Amino acid sequence: MLNTVYRLVAPRRFEVAFNDIDLNSDKVVVRPTHLSICHADQRYYQGTRPADVMAKKLPMALIHEAIGDVVYDATGEFKPGELVVMIPNTPVEKDDIIAENYLRSSKFRASGFDGFMQDNVALDRDRLVRLPQDIDRTVAAFTEIVSVSVHALRRFERFTHARRNVVGIWGDGNLGYITAVFFRYMHPDTKLIIFGTNEDKLSSFTFADETHLVWEIPEGLTIDHAIECVGGDASQKAIDQMIDLIQPEGTIALLGVSEYAVPINTRMVLEKGLHLYGSSRSGRADFEKTVELYQEYPEILGYLSNIVGAQVEVSSIADMTKAFEMDINKMMGKTIMIWNK
Ligand SMILES: NC(=O)C1=CN([C@@H]2O[C@H](COP(=O)(O)OP(=O)(O)OC[C@H]3O[C@@H](n4cnc5c(N)ncnc54)[C@H](OP(=O)(O)O)[C@@H]3O)[C@@H](O)[C@H]2O)C=CC1
Ligand SMILES: O=C(CO)[C@H](O)[C@H](O)COP(=O)(O)O
Ligand SMILES: [Zn+2]
């Protein structure tokens, strides 16, 4: 089956390419319907990654957050028309200790190989998780970033000590918001404080106990554990502040991606006996848990709908460019491409 792929070939330039999908293989063919743009896509689209990385990765189809309808499964396990979320992480080995998203051998769509900007996507069957057929597709489109938060919170359960009276989340953007929503449901009794840089954005965290601008922290405020959802050049300031406000023996989860190494106040990490852990991407178990939580707490979908941003109908390369440009200029929210391909 001839398939069309829309690859980024240079910053801000998409081009059409073709590949062949073998219908006799064990793969399931999915037609994407709703795609959502991540910061990582923007770093490639705008060419803000180092030149050697760009040269190594491009040309490549972007987007690792997407849902779609099954169009073909030779085995009949998936029926045509079933709604699924596609898992971008693609492991090639199993390990008893190391999760699939941390195996150095795993490939990740729109980072190591083609993402979901295609007319059809052929995936291994374990890379699909069924979604409720009637789910709001504009929300379900960004299930992947939601599963990243769920993954991080599962690690939080593993790595934090039992005193979880006060937890701080740094970052008033999309990842901070999603992580905070799920944290609220998973830890209803913990005091949840959001630290950000914009009052308008902070006002959307209605379910948090407190929100603070990072330059207006009340005297004496402390936290037991911290989660960083900032990334980029601001990471250093955020991590510094976390180290200042955290109680000894607390944990700091690092989720924000930075292009360059971030200096960290290791003297205070040592003196306070802190635990810093990274949390990146997600695997099948996290997607399954996310869909389970959507069903257990349907109100979560309502909270997530607050960050649905621009919805762009896409049927041409010009529309793709329009969606990415609109995404750059947004204040907050996920830009959704409605994939009319
Ligand atoms: N670990 C993983 O697997 C994943 C990581 N990410 C990464 O997470 C990061 C955040 O993503 P996303 O939420 O989409 O991005 P956003 O830009 O929406 O969010 C970051 C937010 O942090 C705010 N901010 C800036 N400085 C500080 C500070 N010192 N303290 C607290 N908040 C601050 C920003 O404000 P302002 O805009 O005003 O600067 C912005 O609102 C990115 O680096 C992204 O690549 C994303 C998905 C998955
Ligand atoms: O967004 C992400 C997961 O949802 C990660 O930040 C992304 O996978 C990082 O990829 P890259 O190394 O290509 O920047
Ligand atoms: Zn992402």
Domain membership of residue 297 (yes or no) is no
**Which ligand ends up closest to the CA of 37?**
3
- Ligand 1 proximity of 78 Cβ (cutoff 6 Å): no
Q: Any binding-site annotation on 38?
A: yes
151 shares its domain with 234: yes
Q: Any binding-site annotation on 216?
A: no
123 shares its domain with 155: no
Domain membership of residue 39 (yes or no) is yes
Share of the chain above pLDDT 90, in %: 99
15 shares its domain with 89: yes
Contact 140, 34 (CB under 8 A): yes
Give per-residue burial for 66-102: e unless 16+ CB within 10 Å, then b.
bbbebbbbeeeebeeebbbbbbbbbbeeeeeeebbbe
Closest CA to 119 of 30, 15, 26: 30
Residues 59-70 have pLDDT tens digits of 999 999 999 999
CA 65 to ligand 3 centroid distance, Å: 7
134 shares its domain with 175: no
For residues 312 and 25, give the distance between their C-alpha atoms in angstroms, rounded to a whole number.
33
Q: Any binding-site annotation on 210?
A: no
Domain membership of residue 17 (yes or no) is yes
CA 230 to ligand 2 centroid distance, Å: 14
Closest CA to 321 of 3, 5, 6: 6
110 shares its domain with 175: no
Q: Taking all residues of the chain, what is their mean pLDDT, rounded to a whole number?
A: 98
- Ligand 1 proximity of 194 Cβ (cutoff 6 Å): no
CA 281 to ligand 2 centroid distance, Å: 7
Is pLDDT above 90 for 112?
Answer: no
Domain boundary among 258, 278, 298: 278
Pocket test for ligand 2, best of 280, 282, 287, 334 (most atoms within 8 A of CB): 280
Is pLDDT above 90 for 341?
Answer: no
118 shares its domain with 209: no
pLDDT of residue 263: 97
Domain boundary among 234, 259, 278: 278
Closest CA to 7 of 116, 90, 121, 122: 116
Q: Whose CA is nearest to atom 3 of ligand 2?
A: 281
128 shares its domain with 171: no
131 shares its domain with 174: no
| Consecutive H or E run containing 282 | none
Segment 77-93 shows an average pLDDT of 98
User: CATH number of the domain that 122 lies in?
Assistant: 3.90.180.10
Reported as half-sphere exposure (CB side, CA atoms, 13 A), residue 159 has a value of 22
117 shares its domain with 199: no
Segment 196-217 shows an average pLDDT of 98
130 shares its domain with 238: no
Domain boundary among 233, 258, 278: 278
Helical H runs in the chain? 39-45, 51-57, 137-140, 143-159, 174-186, 199-202, 235-245, 266-272, 284-296, 299-305, 317-328
Domain membership of residue 214 (yes or no) is yes
Domain membership of residue 101 (yes or no) is yes
25: DSSP letter: S
Is pLDDT above 90 for 19?
Answer: yes
For residues 255 and 274, give the distance between their C-alpha atoms in angstroms, rounded to a whole number.
17
Closest CA to 43 of 231, 179, 229: 231
168 shares its domain with 272: yes
Q: Any binding-site annotation on 187?
A: no
**Ligand 2 atom closest to Cα of residue 257:** 6
278 bridge partner residues: 254
Cα separation values, 239 from 1, 145, 230, 285, Å = 49, 21, 9, 29
Residues 153-166 have pLDDT tens digits of 999 999 999 999 99
42 shares its domain with 25: yes
- Ligand 2 proximity of 84 Cβ (cutoff 6 Å): no
Residues 27-72 have pLDDT tens digits of 999 999 999 999 999 999 999 999 999 999 999 999 999 999 999 9
In this prediction, residue 259 has a pLDDT band, given cuts at 50, 70 and 90, of very high
**Which ligand ends up closest to the CA of 174?**
1
Residues 211-233 have pLDDT tens digits of 999 999 999 999 999 999 999 99
Residues, the chain: 341
Domain membership of residue 11 (yes or no) is yes
Closest CA to 238 of 207, 208, 265: 265
Tell me phi and psi for residue 117, to 5 degrees.
-80, 75
Rounded to two decimals, the pTM is 0.98
For residues 218 and 260, give the distance between their C-alpha atoms in angstroms, rounded to a whole number.
31
Domain membership of residue 109 (yes or no) is yes
Number of domains comprising the chain: 2
Tokens of 193: 């404080």
- Ligand 1 proximity of 173 Cβ (cutoff 6 Å): yes
Contact 33, 143 (CB under 8 A): no
**Ligand 1 atom closest to Cα of residue 201:** 41
**Ligand 2 atom closest to Cα of residue 64:** 4
Domain membership of residue 200 (yes or no) is yes
Share of the chain above pLDDT 70, in %: 100
Closest CA to 129 of 83, 94, 90: 83
What domain range is 218 assigned to? 147-278
User: CATH number of the domain that 210 lies in?
Assistant: 3.40.50.720
